[in-house]
A and B are shown apart, each in its own frame.
Chain A
Amino acid sequence: MVENSPSPLPERAIYGFVLFLGSQFGFFLYCLWAYIPEEWLHSVGLTYWPQKYWALAMPIYLLVALMVFVVVLFGINMNNTAPLDSVDNITDVFAQGQRSDCYRKGGIPRLKDVSISEVNKMFYLSSDR
């Protein structure tokens, strides 16, 4: 049975190092392709590569997409928040479908959602704190 824990392991260190070397090598190849003029690449025989326009356009597209994504994510979250007068702030389908207590002497009571009226009474009406 394989352990599922987030602790560092030798295999994970090796994966990490391989990824690190791979990404550095990939970046080196990308820089080579971006800087070497087209004629030299054609003379070696590498003819079917993307236009050099994309060497600049792709990083810029990615950065702008990242910034727009952050703003849009925040906006979608705010849009999906329930308004103050919605029932979702009080209860939901799972809380309404709870089964009532079947107490056994000395047993642990069932875990359940306490209704907002009881919570309020506990907080604001009981003055023995």
Chain B
Amino acid sequence: MEDESFCNISGKPISLDCQSHSSFCREFTVSTPKISIGKVMVYTCSVWLFAYTVFFFTQNTAVLSSAILITLVGMMLHIHFVKVDHESLLVIGSLGIQVSSSYASGREVTTFIEMSKIKDIVINEAVYLHQIIYYLCVLLRDPSEPHGVSSVVTLFQSSKPRLNCLVKIYKSCQEILSTCK
């Protein structure tokens, strides 16, 4: 388990954890930093200050209670649907790969892709908003057409690590894929 300092495409630090369960089974976990309490307090205070100024001018108490409701519901939705805590990739030779992302509220979303559908795991570059980023993706193939790419599944799309992290994962994955395919 090595932990050099990696960062994502915006420069925020992330951490990579590689575990080798056996010679043909490896697991990679990329964790993003947790929500900072300072940011939460800044957002809550600004929303409540804004609601208080609106109440000051309109004298309508529903504004205050709706602001409290909005901040509570917004925070719950954010940690349940938006904020990803860590994403993991488990590669088992000649069986398949499992991609899972777990959110800050504890919810986990897992997908398994069997080895016959996987053509390759590659690092690709593409245009993303105003920049070009490197990202790791799984090329899937149709069993009826073994030489064509039918669809693409992107890995680590919430944490978006930079190239040094991706190269490490890529080399490790290719060792397993080349021997056990």
Contacts and interface: CB of A to CB of B under 8 A. Distances in A.
Interface in B122-158: 122-124, 126-129, 135, 137, 139, 148-154, 157
A3 to B, nearest CB: 38
B150 A87 contact: yes
Given A90-B139, A124-B167, A84 B126 contact: yes
Contacts of B151: 85, 87
A124 to B, nearest CB: 5
A120 B123 contact: yes
Given A90-B124, A116-B122, A78 B149 contact: no
B149 A90 contact: yes
B174 interface: yes
Given A84-B135, A91-B149, A124 B170 contact: yes
A125 interface: yes
Contacts of A84: 126, 128, 135, 137, 154, 157
Nearest to B166: A124
Contacts, number: 51
B22 to A, nearest CB: 22
B153 A89 contact: no
A51 interface: no
A120 B121 CA distance: 10
By size class, the interface of chain A is 10 to 19
Interface in A76-129: 78, 81-82, 84-87, 89-91, 96, 116-117, 120-121, 123-125
B12 interface: no
Nearest to A82: B126
B126 A124 contact: no
| Residues of B contacting A: mostly | strand
B171 interface: yes
A78 B129 contact: yes
A85 B154 CA distance: 6
Interface of B: 119-120, 122-124, 126-129, 135, 137, 139, 148-154, 157, 167, 170-171, 174
24 contacts: A78-B129, A82-B126, A85-B137, A85-B151, A85-B153, A85-B154, A87-B149, A87-B150, A87-B152, A89-B126, A89-B152, A90-B124, A90-B137, A91-B149, A116-B124, A116-B139, A117-B120, A117-B122, A121-B174, A123-B123, A124-B123, A124-B170, A124-B171, A125-B171
